[in-house]
Amino acid sequence: MAERHECEIEEVNVAPDHVHLFRSFPPRYSIAHVVGVLKSISAAEVFEKFPEVKKELWGGEFWEDGYFARTVGDKVTADLIKRYIKYHRDEIRAKQLLLSFLIFC
């Protein structure tokens, strides 16, 4: 997915109620576009591989409408964001790791 859309996934963490994702992409794409593509493709992949998941969701939607995006700069560096994401990785359960692997592969 990342290669096809010219994005690089640099760090990822799946938490019980949200996903941390650090990625880089060409400046010709807006953050909203990249998030929209990520959500639509990953939801389609999950529903294809695990059709029973859609039945368990309220309204059949995999992702919530909102998201938070932060760009890197002088004070908030790429290394700082990667460390933040890695710190939260310690709290991931094995089942969540498997799901994130299936989504992003």
103 pLDDT more than 70: no
Please indicate, yes or no, if residue 3 is contained in any of the structural domains: no
Q: Is residue 2 part of a domain?
A: no
Round the average pLDDT of the chain to a whole number and report it: 80
Q: Is 28 exposed, middle or buried (0-12, 13-18, 19+ CB in 10 A)?
A: exposed
Write the single-letter amino acid at 59. Answer: G
Mean pLDDT of 49-54: 89
Name the pLDDT band for 89 (thresholds 50, 70, 90): low
pLDDT in tens, 70-79: 888 888 888 8
Number of structural domains (the chain) is 1
Residue 73 lies in a domain: yes
Residue 32 lies in domain: 8-104
Residue 97 belongs to some domain of the structure: yes
pLDDT of residue 72: 86
Residue 40 belongs to a domain = yes
Does the pLDDT at position 92 exceed 60? Answer: no
Please report whether residue 1 resides in a domain.
Answer: no
Q: Which two tokens stand for residue 42?
A: 């990953």
Token duo for residue 33: 């576009």
Residue 23: enclosing H or E segment and its boundaries? strand 19-24
Task: Look up residue 100 and give its amino acid.
Answer: S
